């Protein structure tokens, strides 16, 4: 199976060149196969968000190589990185970062508008399709602030899927939700993964949810621990 991402010897230091320079990722090797649904776990401060930001092309590694859909991203310039990020990767964060003055529908249209530069009927239809997919058609014209936290997170998931990315990165996507909403949001991501084949890498502190992923990767002190944590859905 092809790898949607492959990391080879990824290191990351913050404050490079300053007295406070610290290496927080120490040579990460990791591959995610197409269609895999993987949990990333580990103690607070172990480097999970740092790793996710690098995989998501939001930050650059200090050294090492990152392949996305087989393409070496190391040598890409900023413009190429921005385009690749927009088209290949969807993001879901603990806080949804929806634009509060915009409706659910407008928030989902936004990534397509940014990519194409002008609105068209196809992106309007696609946003409707995605809102239907996440079960929020009737909230289409509600402002993002006027829906519940769980609904906001489902809009954020619809938005993440707008460009039909091969990979969705989620950093504690259920961290702010009650357990019932967390479960619904998790199951929605699982269904998208099963129905569309989208790969997911999800940071979570919730072992119950992590065990419903294909595989759990554990980061401890900036390294992959290699510990095998059993899951219920292991393939």
Ligand X SMILES: Nc1ncnc2c1ncn2[C@@H]1O[C@H](COP(=O)(O)OP(=O)(O)OP(=O)(O)O)[C@@H](O)[C@H]1O
Q: Which residues bind ligand X (CB under 6 A)?
A: 14-15, 24, 42, 44-50
Work out the end-to-end distance of the chain between its first and last CA atoms, rounded to an integer number of angstroms: 14
DSSP per position, 50-94: HHHHHHTTSS--SEEEEEETTEE-TT--HHHHHHHHHHHEEEEES
Neighbouring CB atoms inside 10 A of 9's CB total: 13
Q: Tell me how far, at minimum, the Cβ of 76 lies from ligand X, in Å.
A: 22
Answer for the pair 192, 186: CB distance below 8 angstroms, yes or no: no
User: Which of these ranges, 27-35, 45-53, 105-113, 182-190, lies near Mg ion under the rule CB under 5 A?
Assistant: 45-53
What residue 24 binds from Mg ion, ligand X, none (CB within 5 to 8 A, per partner kind)? Answer: ligand X
Query: By C-beta, is 48 or 154 nearer to Mg ion?
Result: 48
Contacts of 129 (CB under 8 A, 6+ apart): none
Partners of 92 in beta bridges:
170
Instruction: Considering only residues 61 through 100, tell me which ones interact with Mg ion, judged by CB under 5 A.
Output: none
Decide whether 44 or 79 has the Cβ nearer to ligand X.
Answer: 44
By beta-carbon proximity to ligand X, the closer residue of 150 and 222 is 222
**According to the binding rule CB under 5 A, does residue 49 interact with Mg ion?**
yes
State yes or no: residue 50 binds Mg ion (CB under 5 A). Answer: no
Contact status, residue 143 vs residue 100, Cβ threshold 8 Å: yes
**Per CB under 5 A, 206 contacts Mg ion:** no
SS3 185: helix
46 contact choice in Mg ion, ligand X, none (CB below 5 to 8 Å, kind-dependent): ligand X
Q: How far is the CB of 134 from Mg ion (least distance, A)?
A: 24
For residue 103, is it left (φ>0), alpha (ψ between -120 and 50) or beta?
Answer: beta
DSSP 120: -
The interface region with Mg ion, picked from 25-33, 44-52, 152-160, 226-234 by CB under 5 A, is 44-52
Query: At closest approach, how far in Å is the CB of 54 from ligand X?
Result: 10
Minimum CB separation of residue 50 from ligand X in Å reads 3
Taking the least distance from each CB to ligand X, the nearer of 53 and 69 is 53
């Amino acid at each position: 199976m092809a790898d949607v991402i492959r990391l080879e010897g990824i290191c990351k230091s913050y404050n490079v060149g300053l007295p406070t320079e610290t290496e927080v990722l120490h040579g990460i090797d990791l591959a995610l196969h197409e269609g895999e649904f993987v949990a990333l776990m580990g103690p607070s401060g172990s480097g999970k968000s740092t790793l996710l930001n690098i995989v998501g092309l939001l930050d650059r590694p200090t050294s090492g190589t990152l392949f996305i859909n087989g393409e070496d991203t190391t040598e890409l310039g900023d413009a190429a990185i921005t385009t690749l990020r927009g088209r290949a990767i969807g993001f879901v964060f603990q806080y949804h970062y929806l634009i509060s003055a915009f409706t659910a529908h407008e928030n989902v249209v936004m990534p397509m508008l940014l990519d194409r530069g002008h609105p068209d009927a196809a992106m309007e239809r696609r946003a409707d399709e995605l809102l239907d997919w996440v079960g929020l058609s009737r909230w289409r014209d509600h402002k993002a602030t006027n829906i519940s936290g769980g609904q906001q997170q489902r809009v954020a998931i619809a938005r993440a899927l707008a460009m039909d990315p091969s990979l969705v990165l989620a950093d504690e996507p259920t961290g702010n939700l009650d357990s019932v909403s967390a479960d619904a949001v998790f199951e929605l991501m699982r269904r998208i993964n099963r129905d569309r084949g989208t790969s997911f890498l999800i940071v979570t502190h919730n072992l119950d949810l992590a065990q419903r992923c294909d595989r759990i990767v554990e980061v401890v002190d900036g390294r992959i621990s290699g510990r095998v944590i059993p899951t219920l859905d292991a393939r």
